[in-house]
Every structure is written in C-alpha cells, then in structure tokens.
Structure 1
C-alpha cells in the first residue's frame, strides 16, 4: 500500500514539474514573439522620413509618423487594440505599455551613444533613429506563480 501511495505522489509531482516546464516554454515563446514585434515596430518607426527636411538635404525621422508606425506595428504583431490591450486570440492577456519612445534626430552629433540607465540600455547609432522600450507581461498558466514581466528593448536607424 505504501508503494502505491508513493507511486501516486511521484506521478503527481512529475505532472506538476512537466506543467511548469511547459509554462516556461510558453513564456520563452512569448518573449521571442514580443521581442520581434518590438524590433519591427522600432524599424518601422525609424523609416518614417521627414520629407520636408529631406528636400533640404537633412536626414530626419518624422515624429508623428514614427509614433503612429510603431503603434501600428505593435498592434498588428501582438494582436492589440488601439489602447494596446490584447484582443481575443492574442497570446497576451495584459495590456502592453510603451515605457520609452525616443526619436534621435539630426540635432545630435553622430555617431551618437544613447544611454538609459533606468532600463540599463545603451546603443550607438550612426544616423537618426528610434529607441523603443516596451513592457510586456506574460500571465502564468498557474495562479500560484507570479506573472513574468519583461522590458523589451529595440532600436533602429534611418536607412537611406
């Protein structure tokens, strides 16, 4: 009888460990998908050239167009609504928060090293570009465990 009880307990523990491993794999898949979305959004934002300044020979990112492009790419790649909240069918459950959206334009001397000590992020850009830091929360499958949260960082330069 003791062996039977021990066997049942071992099976339950094995199932719990297997479920936790599956949850970790889903979290890693989520962070990779979200990171790709942040990179795409930063790249799309950086490509929004200010045509009026370009006519004068100045490479510059158009701020409003860049912000709109970044938001559109985040919404499209993460299945979010206009308020950056997940729609049905999204792999996220909590809203996405844009923590940093900075446009580094022609008023800086390039190469320029951008530093953000709050998020431990540093990047050197050779021409105007965009820095984007987005906060994403992955809800655990088991309510006992706390959600996993990331500040995903992306940046891109204007390509001409």
Structure 2
C-alpha cells in the first residue's frame, strides 16, 4: 500500500513540475510576442512623417499619425480591440495599457538622451523618434506561478532615406 501512495505522490510532484515548466515557457512566449509587437508599433509610429515640415526640409514626426499607427500595430499584433481589450482568440486575457507614448521631434537637440525614472528606462535617439512603454499581463493557464506583469519598452527612430 505504501508503494502505491509513494507512486501517486511522485506522479503529483512530476506533474506539478511539468505544469510549472509549461507555464514558464508560455510566459516567455508571451513576453517575446509582446516585445515584438511593441517594437513594431514604435517603429510604425516613428515612420509617420509630417509632410508639411518635410516640404520645408525638416524631418519631423506627425504626432497624431504616429499615435494612430502605434495603436493599430498593437491591435493587429496582439489581437486587441480599440480599447486594448483582447479579442476572442487572442493569447492575452487582460487589457494592454500604453503607459508611455512620447514623440521626440526635430525641436530637440540630438543625440537626445531619454530617461524615464518611473519605468527605469533610458535610451539615446540620434534623430526624431518614438518611445513607447506598454503594460502586458501574462495570461496564466495554471496557478502555480504568481501573476506576471511586464512593462515592455520600445523605441524607434525616424528613417529618412
């Protein structure tokens, strides 16, 4: 009888370890997908030229177009609605919140040193660009690990060529 109890206990331990590993792998996949989405959104935003300023020879980002492009890219890459709420079929469960969206334009002197102490982020921009920080919550499938909340950071520069 004790062998049967030992065998069941070992199976529970093995299964728990396996579930923990699966959960950690799913968390890493979520982090990587979210990081790519934030990077793509920042890059898309940074490419929104202000055509009037460009006509005057100034490379500058149109802030309204940049914000719209970033939102669209986040929505499409993370399968979100207009409010940042995951759609049916999305790998996320909680809304994605854009914590920081800043456009650094030609009015600044470059290289521009950006620092955000609240989210512990620093970057250097060599030309006009966009800084974006989004809050993403890992959709736990099992309750073996604590909830994970990431503040995913991204930055991109205007590419004029």
TM range (shorter): over 0.9
Aligned to 2:142, the other structure's residue is in SS state: coil
Work out the CA distance in 1 between the residues paired with 2:128 and 2:12: 56
- 1:67-113 per-residue CA deviation (whole Å, 9 max, x = no partner) reads 00000000000000010100000000000000000000011100111
TM (normalized to structure 1)?
A: 0.98
- What is the match of residue 152 of structure 1? 152
> How big is the shift at 1:4?
1.5
Contact in 1 for aligned 2:91/2:139 (Cα 8 Å): no
**Uncovered stretches (5+) of structure 2, i.e. residues with no partner:** none
Aligned match of 1:33: 33
4+ runs deviating over 4 angstroms: none
Hey, what's the Cα distance between the residues in 2 that align with 1:26 and 1:108?
41
Unaligned 5+ segments in structure 1 are none
> What TM-score, normalized by structure 2, do the two folds share?
0.97
Task: Provide the aligned length of Structure 1 versus Structure 2.
Answer: 160
Q: Please give the alpha-carbon distance, in whole angstroms, between the structure 2 residues aligned to 1:32 and 1:79.
A: 15
- For residues 85 and 14 of structure 2, the distance between their equivalents in structure 1, rounded to whole angstroms, comes to 36
